[in-house]
Copies of this chain bind each other. A is one copy, B any other.
Amino acid sequence: MKNVFGIHPTAIIGDQVTIGSNVTIGANTIVYDNVVLGDNTLVGAQCILGEPGAGIYSDASSYNNPPLVIGEGALIRSGTIIYAGSELGAKFECGHRVTIREKSRIGHHVRIGTLSDIQGHCEIGNYVRFHSNVHVGHQSIVRDYVWIFPYVVLTNDPHPPSETLRGVTVEEFAVIATMSVILPGVTVGRDSLVGASSMVRKDVEPETVVAGNPAKAVASIHDVKSKADGSKVYPWRETFDRGMPWQDIGYESWLAGQRA
């Protein structure tokens, strides 16, 4: 099949770009200066990598595009825009028309869904999964193994508009379901589960299910049973492994190996 692999002749690539081996850059994609693409990276069509920050518009002569570093083996689907001045770990994968702005620090094996909008000035751990259309405000901290589902917003301004930013923190293994809003400064605890369409204004305790508008604690995660067979489903790391480092060996075995 033509037009899929390799550097497409219509791609527009700056002089100061570092391209690893076996890299694809799709048709009509633009790569600005100081982008570093790791080996085996696939960049789809109609993407923009290294989009300049706002400083270029206020003072172009002194502007220098900060590096955008993308680790090896990334798969960046068509229509995605990633700003200069961010860092994405190995095996990064994203859907279409994702936006990732400056000063985003993103770990390895992260997947971000179509239309998600990462506002920058944030930290995202390893093996994090965002489904479509997740919005991550400045100052957010998302730890390893977090799952966030479509149309969730992590906010940051406690009394908008103001200059007081307080980011959201989402702890390891937490899950936030569709259309939930997390208010500024809230911590979503380890292993917790935020139900769909929740409005979360207080910290979520670890291993707790919250739901509603405003969200309240409704159960321990240990009480949630599978609708398919009635078995225990949380913490999810004990029942789900696709794409996780414990795939095929189980979380406990993997953890034991890590500790050995």
Chain A interface residues (CB < 8 Å from chain B):
1-5, 10, 12, 14-15, 27-28, 30, 32-33, 42, 45-46, 48, 51-52, 56-57, 60, 63-65, 75, 78-79, 81, 95-97, 99, 114-115, 117, 119, 129, 132-133, 135, 147, 149-151, 153, 155, 158-164, 166, 175, 177-179, 181, 183-185, 196-197, 199, 212-214, 224, 226-228, 233-234, 236, 239-240, 242
Contact = CB atoms under 8 A, between A and B. Distances in A.
B175 A197 contact: no
Identical chains bound together, number: 3
B164 A4 contact: no
B161 A181 contact: no
A236 B162 contact: yes
Binding site secondary structure of chain A:
loop
Nearest to A164: B228
A227 B153 contact: no
Given A45-B48, A161-B147, A234-B159, A135 B135 contact: no
A96 B226 CA distance: 39
Contact of A32 (B1, B159, B199, B228): B1
